[in-house]
Homo-oligomer: A and B are copies of this chain.
Amino acid sequence: MSANKAKDNKGTTNHTINEDKLDTNVSIDMEAPEFRDFAKSMVDYIAEYLENIRDRRVLADVKPGYLRPLIPDAAPEKPDTWQEVMSDIERVIMPGVTHWHSPKFHAYFPTANSYPAIVADMLSGAIACIGFSWIASPACTELEVVMLDWLGKMIGLPKEFLACSGGKGGGVIQGTASEATLVGLLGAKAKKIQQVKKQHPDWTDDMIVSKLVGYNSAQAHSSVERAGLLGGVKMHSVQADEKNSLRGEALEAAIKEDLEKGLIPFYAVITLGTTNSCAFDRLDECGAVCNKYNVWAHVDAAYAGSAFICPEYRHLMKGIETADSFNFNPHKWMLVNFDCSAMWLKDPTWLVNAFNVDPLYLRHEMQGSAPDYRHWQIPLGRRFRALKLWFVLRLYGVENLQAHIRRHCKFAQEFAALCRADDRFEIVGDVNMGLVCFRLKGANELSENLLKLINGRGNIHMVPSKIRDVYFIRMALCSRFTKSEDMVYSWNEVSAAADEMLKK
């Protein structure tokens, strides 16, 4: 059906629908028995897809615009069958999928995928409540409060962050770490404006905002810079040390420099596990500096935070008691499907009060006795996401989640050992967590060309980064299906690509 025809159809459809003639006894919905067949067929498809994901080409091999010619250019007037839809998955969708859960996928950082999380999301889709306030579905809010306590205990967060301590603190599920960084920034902004106004009652908000300055390591994720843009405040990017860690001294020097300029330091993002190289800012040093200068310390442990469920990695979060907010993504490395970004705040009231618009239709009688999470986030609506946290924590148990982290860390060391044994290559920096940064010795161009060749072959997929003009390739452990043999396979791909390139 052409677009024009579709438009004409609709343009000329009966404009004077007589609602009395609507037969409301005819079902317009898929019936339950059909749903059972369809959904169970999808369950089987999913199991097949994931168990055999290793056999698919990891990187989609299509050109931009591939999909449009494969489907009609307008929605059908009458329903298709679910069997038609099922068969279109392989025809239309799969050719354009980059398989993030293949053991051959080493790009970016992992995003989680597990059977318990998928099943939990099915339930969430069926209940389909919008948990913007407690009354809108008490279970949705309350399970989230308790799950964030479970999770906080698992990583050893100080009790000031936990709701079960009975203080102000507590956790919330955000969609993404970018949102957590922005939410932290907005809370810090509201707090600082109020503090400054007490000292300078004649200053306007605009005057104060124009003086605010936040801090991050030059190695921080791009979303931190973006939070500054979105929040309309300056961000001061501070150089990291030779280990790519932000140090307290450098942060303090930057703060002093800005104070001398008459600016007002208000927020600092301390990254534990950078995207570039999985470097850890020195929270023990930076947190103390933040406290000294009354700057809100936000900890972004989006990827590496999951590792803190293993006690042997907790030394990397030393100083956590100095933080005002802490965030990590179970949807990255802890087997809870996207989106589930866990954030804790010692004092959420700054945030709640700053953006509290409270129309009558959202008020309820129990207000104040449980969090109304709509005040803790950017959007109003929110899904029942605590279910997938609950299912994953229960159906893996802490032990297996720890084993998952430890295995990825071990595989990274195995890959690094293979790389070190080939003297054409060098490892860049330390191998931290499940990430190996490596390159061909010599000019950047060599590694750039190598990566093009690797991704062109399409058997494995990696992305690059660059620090202080040194270009390197990132090999991230991403799949829960990964085995030691996959490290050998991936290394052989790298090595074969190098052979091919160096032969030319």
Which residues does chain B contribute within 8 Å of A75, judged by CB atoms? 150-151, 153-154, 393-394, 397-398
Contact flags (1/0) for A58-99 with B, using CB distance below 8 Å?
Answer: 011011111110010111111110101100010011111111
Whether A395 lies near B176 (C-beta < 8 A) is: no
Most buried by B among A11, A140, A150: A150
Q: Does A195 contact B (CB under 8 A)?
A: no
Which residues does chain B contribute within 8 Å of A221, judged by CB atoms? 359
Contact flags (1/0) for A231-251 with B, using CB distance below 8 Å?
Answer: 110000000000000000000
Q: Does A273 contact B (CB under 8 A)?
A: no
Contact flags (1/0) for A112-139 with B, using CB distance below 8 Å?
Answer: 1111111101110111111000111111
- Stretch of A30-38, A279-287, A491-499 on the interface side: A30-38
Whether B379 lies near A122 (C-beta < 8 A) is: no
How near does chain B come to A263, taking the closest CB pair, in angstroms? 12
Q: How many copies of this chain does the complex contain?
A: 2
Say which residue of B312, B393, B483 sits within 8 Å of A16 (CB atoms): B312
Q: Does A104 contact B (CB under 8 A)?
A: no
5 cross-chain pairs, A with B, having the tightest CB-CB distances, nearest first? A96-B139, A206-B210, A67-B142, A176-B379, A35-B115
How near does chain B come to A122, taking the closest CB pair, in angstroms? 5
Whether B85 lies near A142 (C-beta < 8 A) is: no
- Tell whether A396 pairs with B28 under 8 Å between CB atoms, given A3-B153, A44-B36: yes
- Stretch of A254-262, A293-301, A320-328, A399-407 on the interface side: A399-407
Contact flags (1/0) for A11-46 with B, using CB distance below 8 Å?
Answer: 101111101101011001110101110111011111
Which residues does chain B contribute within 8 Å of A501, judged by CB atoms? none
Q: Does A101 contact B (CB under 8 A)?
A: yes
Which residues does chain B contribute within 8 Å of A35, judged by CB atoms? 43, 46-47, 115, 118-119
Which residues does chain B contribute within 8 Å of A128, judged by CB atoms? 100-101, 111-113, 337-338
How near does chain B come to A23, taking the closest CB pair, in angstroms? 9
- Tell whether A379 pairs with B179 under 8 Å between CB atoms, given A30-B116, A139-B60, A397-B78: yes
Which residues does chain B contribute within 8 Å of A176, judged by CB atoms? 379-381
- CA of A100 to CA of B47 in the docked complex: distance in angstroms? 31
> 5 more A-B contacts (CB under 8 A) besides A39-B119, A42-B122, A67-B138?
A46-B123, A49-B126, A68-B142, A111-B130, A125-B337
Whether A178 lies near B93 (C-beta < 8 A) is: no
Say which residue of B17, B410, B465 sits within 8 Å of A406 (CB atoms): B17
Say which residue of B38, B94, B149, B339 sits within 8 Å of A115 (CB atoms): B38
- CA of A431 to CA of B337 in the docked complex: distance in angstroms? 42
How near does chain B come to A501, taking the closest CB pair, in angstroms? 17
Whether B383 lies near A64 (C-beta < 8 A) is: no
Instruction: Please name the residue on chain B nearest to A375 by beta carbon.
Output: B226
Instruction: Please name the residue on chain B nearest to A52 by beta carbon.
Output: B32
Whether A96 lies near B142 (C-beta < 8 A) is: yes
Say which residue of B32, B130, B337 sits within 8 Å of A338 (CB atoms): B130
Q: Does A209 contact B (CB under 8 A)?
A: yes
Q: Does A230 contact B (CB under 8 A)?
A: yes
Whether A339 lies near B125 (C-beta < 8 A) is: no
Which residues does chain B contribute within 8 Å of A381, judged by CB atoms? 111, 175-176, 178, 331, 338-339
Most buried by B among A7, A14, A210, A379: A379
Which A residues between 452 and 496 are near B, CB-CB below 8 angstroms? Answer: 463-466, 474, 480, 483-484
Most buried by B among A73, A146, A225, A413: A146
- CA of A290 to CA of B337 in the docked complex: distance in angstroms? 42
Which residues does chain B contribute within 8 Å of A138, judged by CB atoms? 60, 62, 64, 66-67, 96-98
Which residues does chain B contribute within 8 Å of A428, judged by CB atoms? none
Which residues does chain B contribute within 8 Å of A78, judged by CB atoms? 397, 399
How near does chain B come to A381, taking the closest CB pair, in angstroms? 5
How near does chain B come to A471, taking the closest CB pair, in angstroms? 8
Which residues does chain B contribute within 8 Å of A137, judged by CB atoms? 60, 96-98, 100
- Tell whether A92 pairs with B139 under 8 Å between CB atoms, given A19-B410, A75-B398, A381-B175: yes
- CA of A151 to CA of B73 in the docked complex: distance in angstroms? 10
Whether A410 lies near B22 (C-beta < 8 A) is: yes
- Stretch of A264-272, A361-369, A419-427 on the interface side: A361-369
- Tell whether A139 pairs with B95 under 8 Å between CB atoms, given A164-B3, A339-B381, A398-B76: yes
Interface CB pairs A-B, < 8 A, 12: A10-B398, A16-B312, A38-B115, A63-B366, A68-B146, A71-B146, A73-B149, A80-B394, A94-B139, A100-B129, A176-B380, A331-B381
Whether A32 lies near B47 (C-beta < 8 A) is: yes
- Tell whether A311 pairs with B11 under 8 Å between CB atoms, given A17-B406, A64-B138: yes
Contact flags (1/0) for A161-188 with B, using CB distance below 8 Å?
Answer: 0001000000000011111001000100
